[in-house]
Amino acid sequence: MVSSPMSRAALKLERLREILRSYDGLLVAFSGGVDSTFLLRVGVDELGARCHAVTCVSETMARAEAEDARRLAAELGLGERHHVIESAELERPGFADNPRHRCALCKTELMELAAPLAERLGIHTIALGTVADDLGDDRPGIAAAAARGAVSPMVEADLGKSEVRELSRELGLRTWNKPQLACLSSRFPYGTRITPERLRRVDSFEDGLRALGFAQLRVRFHDTIARLELDGDDLARAVQPDVRRAILELGAELGFTYVTLDLRGYRSGSLNEAAPGPLVSIRKLG
């Protein structure tokens, strides 16, 4: 019997395993999303006790995601090797003003917290869950982290988002179909001030939408307006009378005068569409 050839995704997974085995230890920047969970799982498989995870929790991280990151780390058997650190991004000069390079400030904060931890653990490699698809988007954060020594092993292995989901499913990870995540700061147009109160309003609105059965979504903050981005298949359901009424009541409770539905639906990085200036791509690093 002739064995079937390995799929392209499986070959890339083997390449990722080789890359991870070349490290004497690994500290994964772990958010609990699809990509970082997959990287952490493979890191644990290959490095065992030499693989650690760090989750930086701040007001810009959705409460539900912080809790899920803790659960996922426990499910992966990290135990005390999952390090949860309180971050103070909003106190970093300029961050709350929400400049175009906000993500660079965020990743700088991450690296300034992760690097001393890695040193205490005797680990020389801090890894991000960046995948190949991320390279062409506006990613000043990835560039800032790379400039401070972070590596992106899944980029090196040329793994894309769909392949990570496929392989996550094969590995039995419950995150394989988890909606795409991003920090709550990404809900605010550049130049719109970010405050704890505004972050809580957006977070609560998104929690309420999930309770109504919506999965992939964003609540974009536009002062008195909440612009909802939902999965295209969910747009029709959102305007059904009972659902629409529940959404409007939720918005009013959270202080929004108007709630609008973006007919283009959910899309990653939609606030970059109207942002001036050049994109910052990690491609420039190589």
Helix (H) or strand (E) holding 222: strand 217-222
Q: Report the pLDDT averaged over residues 270-281.
A: 56
Q: What pLDDT was estimated at residue 273? A: 65
- Say how far apart CA 23 and CA 78 lie, in whole Å: 18
> Which pLDDT value is given to residue 270?
63
pLDDT at residue 233, as a whole number: 94
Please say if the pLDDT value at position 277 is more than 90. no
pLDDT at 66: 96
Fold that domain 184-267 belongs to in CATH: Alpha-Beta Plaits (3.30.70)
DSSP-derived pairing of the beta strands 126-127 and 258-261: unpaired
Whole-model pTM: value is: 0.90
pLDDT for the residue numbered 244: 98
Confidence of residue 120 (pLDDT cuts 50, 70, 90): very high
- The pLDDT of residue 158 is above 90: yes
Rounded distance between C-alpha atoms, residue 125 and residue 9, angstroms: 24
User: Is the pLDDT reported for residue 275 higher than 80?
Assistant: no
Q: What would the mean pLDDT of 198-210 be, rounded to a whole number?
A: 98
Indicate the average pLDDT of the chain: 92
Q: Residue 135 — very low, low, confident or very high, per pLDDT cuts 50/70/90? A: confident
| Predicted pLDDT of residue 130 | 95
Q: Taking residues 57-64, report their average pLDDT.
A: 95
Domain ranges of the chain: 8-177, 184-267
Q: Which helix (H) or strand (E) holds 228?
A: strand 225-230
pLDDT at residue number 268? 77
| Percent residues over pLDDT 70 in the chain | 91
DSSP 140: H
The rounded distance, in Å, linking the Cα atoms of 33 and 165 is 11
Instruction: List helix spans (H) across the chain.
Output: 8-21, 34-47, 63-75, 102-121, 140-147, 153-156, 161-170, 196-211, 235-238, 241-253
CATH superfamily of 8-177: HUPs (3.40.50.620)
Task: Please compute the mean of the pLDDT values over residues 234-243 and round it to a whole number.
Answer: 97
Rounded-to-integer distance, Cα 133 and Cα 86, Å: 29
Q: Judge if 8-177 and 184-267 fold alike in CATH terms.
A: no
Looking at the predicted structure, is the pLDDT value of residue 228 above 50? yes
pLDDT above 90 for 136: no
Say if residue 240's pLDDT is above 70.
yes
Rounded to the nearest 10°, the torsion over CA 180, 182, 188, 190 is -110
137 has pLDDT over 70: no
CB neighbour list of residue 245: distance below 8 Å, 6 or more residues apart: none
